[in-house]
Amino acid sequence: MPVRESEAIILRTYPLGDADRLVSMLTRSFGRIKGVVKGARKPKSAFGGLLEPLTYLRVWFYENETRELVRFNQAELIESFLDVQQDYAAGIGLALLAEVSEAVLPERESSDSAFRLLLLAARTIKQTRDPAFPVAYFCLWTVKLAGWLPDLTACVKCGRSAANEAMYAAAAYPGLACARCKRPGMQLMPGQSLSAARRMLSERLDRLAAEPAPVSPGREFQEYLLDMIEHNGERKLHTRRLLEAHA
């Protein structure tokens, strides 16, 4: 079995047997993978606190082409987010990043863009301790990278411009619709929300977050993004409810 090496971000871990852990992580080189860490739950495990969610590390693992799970044998810490999780709101934000990544990203398909997006969003939450804007940016770009984001500049049916004008949208329908073309069940997307989203698609998260008053797509548009993730990912996001309850 060849040894693989990659940068990785921990998404989730599960107890396995009496002493092991099953680990889901996003790697830069191999995409999202799952594997076993032998003895991870033992007090003297070499992995120690390296398996906390969103931990950024370098991993080495064995891969057998006939098996779904890899076997991790070594890890080296690059950056920890453990202290951030002591803050309740920031911790929920980090958990949502991980849950969305698991819901959207297919296994064994590498995406450097998705990896860099997750790391940048986590670092911004770590720096600001406020998850609202980083989570909105992360969800917007996740939906775009997945190919689910509609054209935010015009009505999908009649072509009416969305510049400075409210539109309507729903996860089950492709595209935005103007007031004349909207369908039952579509929700209002304020013009300023769409304008903010378009700007977020053209600038880096860290630059926008450094502004005194970062642009915000607003509650309605963020709910629309999360609806699209749940609709296309075919699962409910547990952390979404926690984040909304805390807002």
E strand or H helix that includes residue 36:
strand 31-37
Which pairs with CB-CB distance under 8 Å and at least 24 residues apart come from 127-130? 127/209, 128/209, 129/84, 129/87, 129/89, 129/90, 130/89, 130/90
pLDDT for the residue 243: 87
Which of 40-54, 76-90, 230-244 shows the lowest mean pLDDT across its residues? 40-54
Asked if pLDDT for residue 43 goes beyond 90, the answer is no
- The residues, ordered by sequence, that sit 6+ positions from 6 with a Cβ below 8 Å of its Cβ are 27, 28, 29, 30, 58, 59
Is the pLDDT at 46 greater than 90, yes or no? no
- Amino acid code (one letter) for 230: E
Q: Do 49 and 82 meet the contact criterion of CB atoms below 8 Å apart?
A: yes
DSSP secondary structure of 102-162? HHHSPBT---HHHHHHHHHHHHHHHHHS--HHHHHHHHHHHHHHTT-PPPSSB-TTT--B-
Give residue 247's pLDDT band: very low, low, confident or very high (50, 70, 90). low
The model scores a pTM over 0.75: yes
- The CA distance from 210 to 133, in Å, is 11
Segment 42-60 shows an average pLDDT of 90
pLDDT of 177 > 80? The answer is yes
Going by C-alpha positions, the residue among 244, 246, 133, 240 that lies closest to residue 197 is 133
Distance CA 230, CA 96 (A): 12
Q: Which of 102-116, 187-201, 205-219 has the lowest mean pLDDT?
A: 205-219
**If 0-12 CB within 10 Å is exposed, 13-18 middle and 19+ buried, where does residue 162 land?**
buried
In this structure, the strands spanning 20-27 and 187-189 are unpaired
- Read off the pLDDT of each residue in 59-66 and give the average, rounded to a whole number: 85
pLDDT for residue 157 is more than 80 = yes
Residue 32 carries which side chain, given as an amino acid letter?
Answer: R
Would you tell me how many other CB atoms lie within 10 Å of the CB of residue 30?
Answer: 20
How far from the centroid of its chain's Cα atoms is residue 27's Cα? 14
Q: What is the pLDDT of the chain when averaged over all its residues?
A: 94
Q: Are the C-beta atoms of residues 141 and 117 closer than 8 Å to each other?
A: yes
- Domains defined for the chain, CATH in brackets: 3-79 (2.40.50.140), 84-246 (1.20.1440.120)
The answer to whether the beta carbons of residues 221 and 197 sit under 8 Å apart is yes
